[in-house]
DNA sequence: GGAGTTCGCATACC
DNA sequence: ACAGGTATGCGAACTCC
């Protein structure tokens, strides 16, 4: 029979030693179905020049791996003309019975002398399947298939908990435009202890299209009507599994659920020796290891929203932390409910009622958040062509790499391998290479600043000069682009790249083009889809430069990355020189942006000048107008002095644009590790200065805050300092205040985890060091006035007043004198 | 043991 | 291990006499 099908979940199984891919998705009627497809595992050997391909193939066919569970053999070989890193090669495609043994078979044939390289045995089977069969996640396909019988695959039909299972005869992308909206179910648990393995689960909430409920085994008179009660934790968890299965969702989502909710539930089920049966295969979820384990459920894609937001989406966000509360506030304008967790050890009936409501709200917020960023996840899936499960967990480097892998066939390319252990060590040993330039600003208050910037500078350079590992040459010739000279390990170096475009630059140029196209489309027709598409291509383009310098990359090239940066320096430096030659004074420049004074020149003059600059740029490089800024403030560095004079601070400025919008970079205002009092005062001061054009109003603000601080009128919440723990406590060599604060928190019984944001304030206490005065928010100790004055407020405002010749320290000292007398 | 310097660390910019 | 380099500035840790 023939039907339309959209694959959502990808998995595979072995039958009689061979691999089959199992797709779960929806048909056009909206039914969740399973389609099994065969896959012939294969990998490549690339031959040395003039090798006897037939002879080698004859040897390869004999390779065999015998294991207790299975025997893997070579089924057949095929000889092809292929490309490897852009060069023509003779290659043999080796088909084997089981992909799990691809690596072992590759090792076994490793001693055949005429084999140059073995490749693609290290690509996961699902990626290989998608790449070769062109079956794309979350795209509609036209499927020719027959229904599974109970005889097929030893009766797998009965083991799959779905009404309709098929075995595919053919699967092709369909031209038909069909809609797809996933069924999303969100869940969240509440527990008595935060640590997995300790404590119990008191309740679990579910929120979806037709479901909003809390399951619990705690008694509660004041609970809302959405609560269902069970006799114990075990029964509750059993019912949770049942309801998840019956909800028949495409996606089960939580927030940090890979790291908390799912493993916690699993650990409780283990304790009761009970299966956690959430999916279609009647088995426990699988947790593949990694830094954070990933919980995979068969037939329903488990999505931990936090992970996608952390690796991909966070760049769009302003939130200082990626807590559900903050992210939800920013993206959907909804917050979590408040709940006082210190009550957990002693809960009244109404506390339980509130806790249940809190629990439900978490799932509701998670569900809304999932709907909100679904478009972005969906677009990423379609562009990268990896399954939803992986798209929501992979790093940007992996996304860039997968995007390349899934497009290599267009170039007849055999994929490069992942670096092995020793190669990784070698790459890591290599030092850094020179980066971009940042120009030192002259501290001051400026009017009418023009800012130019290069659009996607690194990407446009890579495309314009065809920069990649495969197109790199050490020597000059007629057919190459020449890099500017740059230092590599203290050696002046020049490298060259083929003029004939390679696959890396071709793919990146397509990404850049699509970004431009969808940016325009978004401008003309603002909706979530056009925005998500434009953003996804932008992220992909921006991450591509970093990919070439990333030591874990298949297409790593330190020379390519270093050369890209040499071009970046050259074009920015040259452009600055041209702007200066035209008589403008440069105010500032960082990497790909240049700010200069407009002076008496008109907007038209500037735009004409910009066009002239653009006419001289090569390839797809482009200089853009960032904005005309009405006013701008640049300050001096606090510490270092150069020959007595104060140095201008880089990466620290405040601007007001043509629409009177304020843009603050680098100042304490935007740093989360400074207390609110300081940040608020500084941002209000900058705002006054930029809007009113002088420092007088700012001085009034500062004096007021200092006076309140001295009179102890400041709320303790405004004095809390937040610092993230970036490593386990025992790995710190330096015992800074936040480390001490974390240890104090640990003593209260709360488990300390990497990534936690530690909050503390500085109070009056004996001791010389700041860490001796670290207090937790709930401690009842007076705040240290001197600390907040001398180490928070003054450092943050001094350099601003310096620009206007106001000696704030002197004024503060003067006021102190006055109050003394 | 105090002053000056370096180092470790977190966070920001692009 | 899970994109790169450049930069500020705190507070602890170290060096020196």
Among protein residues, the one whose C-alpha sits closest to the C1' atom of B13 is: A651
Separation in Å, CA A263 to CA A69, A280, A415: 29, 19, 35
Residue nearest to nucleotide C13 (CA to C1'): A734
CA distance A206 to A359: 9
CA of residue A295 to C1' of nucleotide C3, angstroms = 25
Nucleotide nearest to A663 in CA–C1' terms: B13
With b meaning 16 or more CB within 10 Å and e meaning fewer, what string describes A521-536?
bbeeeeeeebbbbbbb
The answer to whether the CB of A542 falls within 8 A of the CB of A447 is: no
Return the residue matching tokens 């928070």: A792
Cross-strand bridge partners of residue A237: none
Structure tokens that stand for A64 in this block: 């065999």
Positions of chain A with pLDDT lower than 50, given as ranges: 642, 820-821
Q: How many CB atoms lie within 10 A of CB A518?
A: 21
The answer to whether the beta carbons of residues A759 and A775 sit under 8 Å apart is no
> Count of residues for chain A?
821
Whether nucleic acid strand C comes within 7 Å of the CB of A735, the answer is yes
3-class state of residue A532 by DSSP: helix
- Note the pLDDT of residue A639: 73
Using CA atoms, how far apart are residues A564 and A675, in angstroms rounded to an integer?
39
- Give the closest nucleotide to A591 (alpha carbon vs C1'): B14
Are A697 and A687 in contact by the 8 Å Cβ rule? The answer is no
A811 CA, B2 C1': separation in Å? Answer: 29
C-beta within 7 A of nucleic chain C, residues 345-404 of A: 395-398
Is A543 (CB) below 7 Å from strand C? yes
Q: Is-contact A666 A683, C-beta < 8 A?
A: no
A639 touches strand C (CB under 7 A): yes
A651 Cβ within 7 A of any nucleic strand C atom:
yes
Q: Which residue is nearest to nucleotide C10 (CA to C1')?
A: A791
A572 touches strand B (CB under 7 A): no
> For tokens 């140059």, what's the residue?
A116
A733-CA/B9-C1' distance, Å = 10
**A378 CA, C2 C1': separation in Å?**
22
- Strands, DSSP E only, in A494-622? 496-498, 586-590, 593-597
HSE-up of A464 (CA within 13 Å, CB side)?
Answer: 20
Q: How far is CA A385 from the centre of its chain?
A: 17
Say whether the CB atom of A591 is under 7 angstroms from strand B.
yes
Which residues are A42's β-sheet partners? A95
Q: What angle do CA A161, A22, A82 make, to 5 degrees?
A: 175
Verify if strand C has an atom below 7 Å from the CB of A432.
yes
From the list A265, A263, A375, A259, the residue with the least C-alpha distance to A307 is A259
| Statement: the CB of A437 is under 7 Å from strand B | no
Q: Residue ranges of the alpha helices (H) in A192-232?
A: none
Give the Cα separation of A404 and A383 in Å (integer). 11
Q: Decide: CB of A734 under 7 A of nucleic strand C.
A: yes
Q: Locate A300 and state its tokens.
A: 């329903």
Within 7 A of a protein CB, which nucleotides of strand C? 1-13
| Residue A650: CB less than 7 A from any atom in strand C | yes
How far apart are alpha carbons A318 and A312 in whole angstroms?
A: 14
Q: Is the CB of A671 under 7 A from strand C?
A: no
Residue nearest to nucleotide B8 (CA to C1'): A734
State residue A313's pLDDT score: 85
Report pTM: 0.95
Burial class (CB within 10 angstroms; exposed 0-12, middle 13-18, buried 19+) of A661: exposed
CB A635 within 8 A of CB A443: yes
> What CA dihedral angle connects A88, A89, A95 and A101, to 10 degrees?
-110
A548 touches strand B (CB under 7 A): no
Looking up tokens 């909430």 gives A205
In this predicted structure, what is the pLDDT of residue A819?
56
* Cβ density class A549-560: b for 16+ within 10 Å, e for less: bbbbbbbbbbbb
User: What single-letter DSSP state applies at residue A338?
Assistant: P
Tokens of A514: 């699509």
Distance, CA of A283 to CA of A700 (rounded, Å): 67
pLDDT tens digits, one per residue of A342-362? 888 899 999 999 999 999 999
Residues 481-510 of A with CB under 7 A from strand B: none
pLDDT value of residue A642: 47
Distance CA A481, CA A476 (A): 8
Q: Which two tokens stand for residue A227?
A: 């609560």
DSSP letters spanning A58-94: HHHTT-EEE-SS-EEEEEEEEEEEEEETTEEEEEEEE
The CA–CA distances, whole Å, from A584 to A221, A579, A587, A609, A788 equal 75, 6, 9, 11, 42
Give the closest residue to A655 by CA, choosing from A444, A422, A485: A444
Which nucleotide C1' is nearest A647 CA?
C8
A434: Cβ under 7 Å from strand C? Answer: yes
Residue A408 phi/psi, 5° resolution? -65, -30
Give, in Å, how far the C1' of B14 lies from the CA of A75. Answer: 52
Residues 772-811 of A with CB under 7 A from strand B: none
Query: What does the pLDDT read at residue A640?
Result: 57
| Spacing of A819 CA from C12 C1' in Å | 35
Q: Closest residue to C3 by CA to C1' distance? A: A546
**H-type alpha helices, A187-260:** 233-247
pLDDT at A821: 43
Distance A620 CA to C5 C1' (A): 23
**β-bridge mates for residue A296, sequence order:** A286
A246 Cβ neighbours under 8 A, 6+ residues apart: none
In A466-585, the DSSP E strands lie at 472-473, 480-482, 486-488, 491-493, 496-498
Nucleotide nearest to A726 (CA to C1'): B10
Strand C near-CB residues (< 7 Å), A 569-598: 591
Q: Is the CB of A670 under 7 A from strand C?
A: no
Relative to beta strand A645-657, strand A662-665 is: antiparallel
Q: Which two tokens stand for residue A324?
A: 């559900």
A756 CA → C12 C1’, Å? 22
Strand C proximal to A669 Cβ, under 7 A: no
Please, which positions of strand B sit below 7 A from a protein CB?
Answer: 7-14
Nearest-5° Cα angle at A340, A336 to A343 = 145
Distance A363 CA to B8 C1' (A): 40
Say how far apart CA A343 and CA A349 lie, in whole Å.
Answer: 12
Integer Cα distance of A182 and A7 in angstroms: 11
Taking Cα atoms as reference points, which of A489, A538, A487 lies closest to residue A516?
A538
Asked if strand C contacts A789 at the CB level, meaning under 7 A, the answer is no
Round and report the angstrom distance from CA (A453) to C1' (C5).
18
Residues 305-324 of A with CB under 7 A from strand C: 311, 315
Strand B proximal to A752 Cβ, under 7 A: no
pLDDT tens-place string over residues A187-223: 999 999 888 888 999 999 999 999 999 999 999 999 9
> Strand B: which of residues 697-716 in chain A lie with Cβ below 7 A?
none
- Tokens coding A297: 């459920």
């Amino acid at each position: 029979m023939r039907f339309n099908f959209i694959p959502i979940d990808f998995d595979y199984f072995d039958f009689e030693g061979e691999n089959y891919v199992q797709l779960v998705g929806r048909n056009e009627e909206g039914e969740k179905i399973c389609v099994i497809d065969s896959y012939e595992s294969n990998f490549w050997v690339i031959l040395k020049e003039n090798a006897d391909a037939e002879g080698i193939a004859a040897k390869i066919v004999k390779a065999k791996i015998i294991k207790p569970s299975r025997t893997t053999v070579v089924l057949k070989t095929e000889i092809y003309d292929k490309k490897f890193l852009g060069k023509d090669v003779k290659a043999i495609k080796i088909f084997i019975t089981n992909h799990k043994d691809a690596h072992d078979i590759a090792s076994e044939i490793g001693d055949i002398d005429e084999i140059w390289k073995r490749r693609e045995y290290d690509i996961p089977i699902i990626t290989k399947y998608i790449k070769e069969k062109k079956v794309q996640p979350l795209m509609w396909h036209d499927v020719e298939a027959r229904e599974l019988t109970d005889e097929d695959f030893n009766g797998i039909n009965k083991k799959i908990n779905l009404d309709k299972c098929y075995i595919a005869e053919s699967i092709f992308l369909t031209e038909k435009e069909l809609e797809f909206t996933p069924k999303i179910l969100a869940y969240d648990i509440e527990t008595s202890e935060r640590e997995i393995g300790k404590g119990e689960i008191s309740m679990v909430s579910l929120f979806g299209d037709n479901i909003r409920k809390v399951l619990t085994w705690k008694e509660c008179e004041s609970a809302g009507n959405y609560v269902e009660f069970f006799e114990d934790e075990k029964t509750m968890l059993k019912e949770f599994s049942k309801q998840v299965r019956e909800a028949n969702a495409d996606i089960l989502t939580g927030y940090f659920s890979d790291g908390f909710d799912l493993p916690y539930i699993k650990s409780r089920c283990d304790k009761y020796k009970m299966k956690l049966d959430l999916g279609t295969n009647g088995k426990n979820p699988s947790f593949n290891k990694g830094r954070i384990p990933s919980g995979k459920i068969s037939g329903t894609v488990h999505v931990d929203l936090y992970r996608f937001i952390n690796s991909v989406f966070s760049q769009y966000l302003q939130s200082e932390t990626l807590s559900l509360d903050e992210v939800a506030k920013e993206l959907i304008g909804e917050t979590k409910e408040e709940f006082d967790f210190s009550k957990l050890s002693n809960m009244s009936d109404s506390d339980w009622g509130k806790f249940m409501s809190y629990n439900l709200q978490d799932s509701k917020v998670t569900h809304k958040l999932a709907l909100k960023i679904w478009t972005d996840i969906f677009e990423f899936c379609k562009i990268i062509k990896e399954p939803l499960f992986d798209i929501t967990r992979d790093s940007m480097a992996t996304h860039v790499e997968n995007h390349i892998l899934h497009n290599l066939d267009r170039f007849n390319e055999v994929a490069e391998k992942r670096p092995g252990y020793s190669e990784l060590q070698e790459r890591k040993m290599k030092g850094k290479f020179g980066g971009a330039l940042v120009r030192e600003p002259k501290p001051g208050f400026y009017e009418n600043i023009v800012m130019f910037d290069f659009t996607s500078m690194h990407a446009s350079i890579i495309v314009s000069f065809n920069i990649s590992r495969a197109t790199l040459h050490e020597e000059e010739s007629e057919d190459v682009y020449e890099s500017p000279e740059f230092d590599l390990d203290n050696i002046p170096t020049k490298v060259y790249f083929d003029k004939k475009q390679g696959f890396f630059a071709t793919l990146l140029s397509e990404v850049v083009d699509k970004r431009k196209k969808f940016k325009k489309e978004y401008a003309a027709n603002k909706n979530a889809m056009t925005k998500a598409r434009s953003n996804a291509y932008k992220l992909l383009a921006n991450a591509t430069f970093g990919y070439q310098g990333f030591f874990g990359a298949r297409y790593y090239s330190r020379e390519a990355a270093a050369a890209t940066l040499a071009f970046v320096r050259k074009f920015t430096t040259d452009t600055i020189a041209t702007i200066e030659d035209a008589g403008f004074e440069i105010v500032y420049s960082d990497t790909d942006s240049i700010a200069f004074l407009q002076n008496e020149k008109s907007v038209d003059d500037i735009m004409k000048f910009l066009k002239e600059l653009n006419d001289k740029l090569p390839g797809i490089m482009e200089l853009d107008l960032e904005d005309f800024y009405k006013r701008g403030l640049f300050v001096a560095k606090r510490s270092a002095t150069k020959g007595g004079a104060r140095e201008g601070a880089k990466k620290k400025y405040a601007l007001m644009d043509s629409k009177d919008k304020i843009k603050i970079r680098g100042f304490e205002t935007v740093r989360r590790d400074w207390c609110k009092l300081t940040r608020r005062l500084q941002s209000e001061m900058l705002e006054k200065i930029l809007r009113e054009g002088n420092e007088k109003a700012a001085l009034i603000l500062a004096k007021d805050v200092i006076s309140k601080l001295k009179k102890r009128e400041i709320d303790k919440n405004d004095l809390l300092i937040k610092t993230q723990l970036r490593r386990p406590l025992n790995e710190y060599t330096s015992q800074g205040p936040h480390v001490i604060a974390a240890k104090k928190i640990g003593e209260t019984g709360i488990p300390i985890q990497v990534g936690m944001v530690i909050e503390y304030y500085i109070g009056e206490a004996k001791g010389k060091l700041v860490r001796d005065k670290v207090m937790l928010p709930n401690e009842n100790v007076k705040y240290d006035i001197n600390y907040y004055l001398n180490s928070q407020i003054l450092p943050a405002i001094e350099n601003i007043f310096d620009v206007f010749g106001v000696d704030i320290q002197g004024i503060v000292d003067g006021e102190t004198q006055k109050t003394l007398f």
